[in-house]
Structure 1
């Protein structure tokens, strides 16, 4: 276990244990649990969508539903007609999910190099295929069909050799499972699917792999009482092997999302742009059109580094964490464009991470006059430091920041640049930072620059 990860989890455990609370299976009690400190401090995580949908690898991870669901996508239907025999089933893709180049240690190194502090791996998506040898998914799991490996187990072991914290995504429902369709036909007055599939799987992955994140999804067709959500979360917080460190999201039933749970996700790519009263997470994708790998994606379909960093900065400025998704290939490789984005992100974090990790939203999220400037802050006793993230380098030799109020001891530095910068106070509030002496060849970053202002008054 990495030293930083161990320290973070110990702090989280102490924070929770000091409460001495037994949480009840209702949302008022569950929502009263303090969020373990490691999660807010981390700011950046990696999401990984991998499964049988990675075999066809067109359209998205919803390929099966778009092929044979209630409202089929004509393009997906035509793709299958053009390329597969008439009696081909989605299950036939399973044996082609080969994962022959899957190297969990290499994945973990890439994720660690990104600057992320935790990962969330898809243990099971809506297709029902489990990336571990589940006792409750006979002949539709990664040991029985396809790789013949415990993918979750291998990745958990590899991640825990680093300072990353390991988490798991799990879909509550499955598009075409007979028990689920039966419960749905009964207007969810029966719970056979939950009793025999959903809950046993959740207990299984928590007890076996001890994830510090449980990222629930697939909840939107049924209420939380059908899913038995509060009873599971109460067990997770009170009795599970990760009870003192685990965090959960908000996707636990109709009406629960964006209201209850450990932190809020609200919707995919949730980036409100204003400060939120509760901790939230912006789960988003480098591929703008899919969470899973797409063979038919074009370069323009991927976020540029400018776009990725702006998303990170705005999210953190408003009090959120960013969960950056990648989709590996069926054979187990993280495509070079994903790896490049993650490694470039990590290099940027090495220079600018002090303004991200462990930071808090400031009085101002966005500058009052410059829309390309966003802020975070750190406070230590009477000292307050503000970080100004500049998305576009100024076209003149002066950077004007309208929001900060400097004191007689304020200093301004460009993170990653050696010399402090001269500035002048502009009225009762605001600073003009002189950039004329900055040597552009020595700028520490290619995208987004961070100016640190120490000992700010406001």
Structure 2
């Protein structure tokens, strides 16, 4: 059992760090700063928020163990995802921030514009000039969000059939899209000068959907380290609050090798991360919080249980909350596994999630991006749900707050399919097998676009309300479909097409259930059949 560390940082300690740096007669150059010195420079900038930080940390320390969960992994492994989340199946992710202004490369522009040799670095110098005179901070005033309409966004997501919405509250760039008392670099104080997260929370809940937030702040500790290696504004101590410690990232950059990554992470950073994350959950009471991969870094292992017990205990007073994690960052059962841009080959015993972007090249908005088809997303959704999972689909709005028409069109098409066929998705459970057919998914992280197109022989199965739902992922040419997983022992009494309610003729034999289909497809994208049995055991899930 790993015991949590004391999460409070004494106010005097923060002020002493700031004073020690301020008293230095000559500050070292950026190139010679050690990781500890870089962290100290950031602590000096953050020292003015020390009283607020300490108040939050004290509150977290006192409340973390007040409830069914304690601040240790043994207790946290008893967590189970709540019923509302298991039933929701489909959510919306939003990557929107300052990185939407350059709209080039990806949402990692903030890092890559300081990485010499990258296309973003070259683009930045050619478009805006050297990073010493125009840095990432200079995009902030350009991020005006002048057409941001949270009610219109929420209406669109509701029309898409989403049951929860999760905007990025803070990306790796360190710019808070919410009203933080621990930073001056927030959307309330700079740029849009609006509480983006607060406005979205009200709009999303107003449409009857659940509201979550995503925090990528853990990575911010090193995200701007490229700017330390040449003449850039990252080295100006006046910018330390935004750019953070920018300590050298010593790992390979491969998400899979966290255990071998010895990038420096100070205790001050861990405490600040805890305070910022607790502040976010205290202000907006999200039903879900999504963490990116860096919280799996070994230095977070003692801090994470404190936050998780604090958040889970608060959620237990409602109807439960969700924490998404990646790549084995948590012990099995301590949260809900998310497989980024990926799928599983079979039914997972506990509920899980995949997230992918509606656009093909980026999570945040970039110019000239293209969008996945509704058919691709619907097939992905059917596959994931049949394996006991949820799909969280990302959208990247423009810097002005408008959502590209291509993304809107795909979302509304998905919503149309779910309106006709949603009874096979929402509130469903896996069957004894997830599906059948010749198409194998490419399992694992970042594999979702590597699966070959599905065929009319590919089915995915779900159960709900005493019925089996067979989702056919293509329309057969011969007017007949055969479901081999249904055996003669499964005595079928009725088959209906869900989209239009018509009853379908069928026969059963050792080869399976044979359906006679109309000459025209029933709906579009994927075709759902509601199957009734006289044998209750036919609906039992896999053990």
User: TM-score normalized by structure 1?
Assistant: 0.86
Inter-partner Cα distance in structure 2 for 1:281 and 1:456 = 33
8 Å CA contact 1:188–1:222 kept in 2: the answer is no
Inter-partner Cα distance in structure 1 for 2:362 and 2:117 = 15
Inter-partner Cα distance in structure 1 for 2:500 and 2:263 = 62
CA displacement 1:374-414 (0-9 Å, x = unmatched):
3333255xxx4211111110010111111123655521111
CA displacement 1:145-175 (0-9 Å, x = unmatched):
2101111111111111111000000112311
Is 1:375 matched with 2:448? Answer: no
Q: Which residue of 2 aligns with 1:98?
A: 144
Report the CA distance between 1:241 and its aligned residue: 8.6
Is 1:199 matched with 2:301? Answer: no
Q: Which residue of 1 aligns with 2:25?
A: none
Aligned counterparts, 1:354-369, within 5 A: 354-367=423-436
Alignment partner of 2:206: what SS? Answer: coil
**Change in CA separation of 1:344 and 1:27 when aligned onto 2, cut-off 3 Å:** same
8 Å CA contact 2:437–2:459 kept in 1: the answer is no
Structure with bigger helix share is 2
Report the CA distance between 1:447 and its aligned residue: 1.2
Inter-partner Cα distance in structure 2 for 1:454 and 1:160 = 36
1:289 to 353, 361, 380: 361
Deviates more, 1:77-86 or 1:236-245: 236-245
Inter-partner Cα distance in structure 2 for 1:100 and 1:204 = 27
1:80 to 124, 129, 139: 124
8 Å CA contact 2:163–2:209 kept in 1: the answer is yes
Deviates more, 1:270-279 or 1:232-241: 232-241
Deviates more, 1:313-322 or 1:80-89: 80-89
Q: Which has the larger radius of gyration?
A: 2
**Change in CA separation of 1:312 and 1:189 when aligned onto 2, cut-off 3 Å:** closer
Report the CA distance between 1:439 and its aligned residue: 5.2
CA displacement 1:104-134 (0-9 Å, x = unmatched):
0000000100111001110000000000121
Alignment partner of 1:181: what SS? Answer: coil
CA displacement 1:408-433 (0-9 Å, x = unmatched):
55211111223201100022x61110
Is 1:166 matched with 2:215? Answer: no
**Change in CA separation of 1:240 and 1:207 when aligned onto 2, cut-off 3 Å:** farther
Q: Which residue of 2 aligns with 1:423?
A: 506
CA displacement 1:340-361 (0-9 Å, x = unmatched):
1111111100111000011111
Alignment partner of 1:154: what SS? Answer: helix
Inter-partner Cα distance in structure 1 for 2:262 and 2:525 = 54
Inter-partner Cα distance in structure 2 for 1:326 and 1:183 = 29
Alignment partner of 1:375: what SS? Answer: strand
1:89 to 120, 126, 135: 135
Runs of at least 5 residues in structure 1 that lack an aligned partner in the other structure: 1-19
8 Å CA contact 1:356–1:376 kept in 2: the answer is no
Q: Which residue of 2 aligns with 1:10?
A: none
Inter-partner Cα distance in structure 1 for 2:464 and 2:186 = 48
Q: Which residue of 2 aligns with 1:15?
A: none
Is 1:319 matched with 2:388? Answer: yes
Inter-partner Cα distance in structure 1 for 2:464 and 2:262 = 55
Is 1:238 matched with 2:283? Answer: no
Q: Which residue of 1 aligns with 2:199?
A: 154
CA displacement 1:167-223 (0-9 Å, x = unmatched):
000112311344462898995463111223x11211111111111001112525722
Alignment partner of 1:309: what SS? Answer: helix
Q: Which residue of 2 aligns with 1:410?
A: 493
Inter-partner Cα distance in structure 1 for 2:126 and 2:264 = 38
**Change in CA separation of 1:255 and 1:118 when aligned onto 2, cut-off 3 Å:** closer
Q: Which residue of 1 aligns with 2:451?
A: none
Report the CA distance between 1:242 and its aligned residue: 6.2
Q: Which residue of 2 aligns with 1:395?
A: 477
CA displacement 1:6-49 (0-9 Å, x = unmatched):
xxxxxxxxxxxxxx962122222112123211000000000000
Is 1:212 matched with 2:287? Answer: yes
Inter-partner Cα distance in structure 1 for 2:167 and 2:219 = 17
Inter-partner Cα distance in structure 1 for 2:247 and 2:129 = 27
Deviates more, 1:215-224 or 1:44-53: 215-224
Report the CA distance between 1:270 and its aligned residue: 2.1
Is 1:309 matched with 2:355? Answer: no
Q: Which residue of 2 aligns with 1:4?
A: none
8 Å CA contact 1:194–1:226 kept in 2: the answer is no
2:247 to 162, 166, 181: 181
Report the CA distance between 1:284 and its aligned residue: 0.5
Inter-partner Cα distance in structure 1 for 2:76 and 2:87 = 21
